Amino acid sequence: MNSLLAEPAHELSVERAEQLDDADLAELCEATDAAIAEGGGFGWVEPQGREILARHFRGVLLVPERELFIARMDGHPVGSAQLQRPPRNNEAQAWAAQLSHAYIAPYARGFGLARLLIRRVEERAAALGHRVLNLDVRETQETAITLFEAQGFTHWGTHPAYARVDGNTVAGRYYYKLLEPARGRRGKDLP
C-alpha cells in the first residue's frame, strides 16, 4: 500500500476530568451537540448549545458520586462518559456502578476511541471496588448496542416505554458487566 495514501494515525486518549478549561469545555460542548444531532448517546434529542451543556458539565464535576471521562483525539475533546457510583447510604448496591452518557462525536468515530473510553471507565470502577457495571441505551442506538455487546456487556432486559423521541415511544435495553477485582484489594476493603 502506498504510504502517501495511508491516513495519518491519530493520538487517542481518555482521561478522568477533575476540571475543564474554557477551550476544552467549548470543544466538549461542540462534540456533545454533534452526537446529539446525530441521534446518540446523551439523553437529549435536540442539540442544546454551549451555555446549557457547559452548565451541565460543570455540574457533573461538582457531584461527588459522578466522574467525568473525556475522550480525546489529537488532544481535542471529542466525547465523554460518566461513571456514577451509588450514594453512600446505599450499602446494598455499593458493589455496582453505572456507565452513562457515553458518546463519541460522529467525526471522531471509527478509530477505537469508544472502546478505549469504555475500558477506562471499567478500569476506574474496578479500582474503586465495584464488581458490576450497569448501563442502559435506547434500542435505536444500534451502533452503541453492538459496541457494548462486543465489549462483554450482557443484555438482561428491555423496557418497552423507555423514552420518547420525535413523538415516538422507544424501548430501552439494559446491560450489565461483571468486573474483575482490582489487584491488591481484598473484599473487606470494598467501599
96 and 156 Cβ atoms separated by less than 8 Å? no
Low-confidence ranges of the chain (pLDDT < 70): 1-7, 41, 183-191
Q: Give the pLDDT score at 31.
A: 97
Q: Give the pLDDT score at 183.
A: 60
Q: Give the pLDDT score at 43.
A: 83
74, 72, 83: which is closest to 28 by C-alpha? 72
Q: Which three cell numbers stand for residue 31?
A: 462534540
DSSP assignment, residue 45?
A: S
DSSP track, 96-110: EEEEEEEEE-GGGTT
Q: Give the pLDDT score at 189.
A: 43
What are the beta bridge partners of residue 99? 83
List pLDDT tens digits, range 85-140.
Answer: 998 888 888 899 999 999 999 999 999 999 999 999 999 999 999 999 999 999 99
pTM: 0.90
Rg, the chain, Cα only = 17
Q: Where are the domains of the chain?
A: 12-189
Where does 12-189 sit in CATH, by number?
3.40.630.30
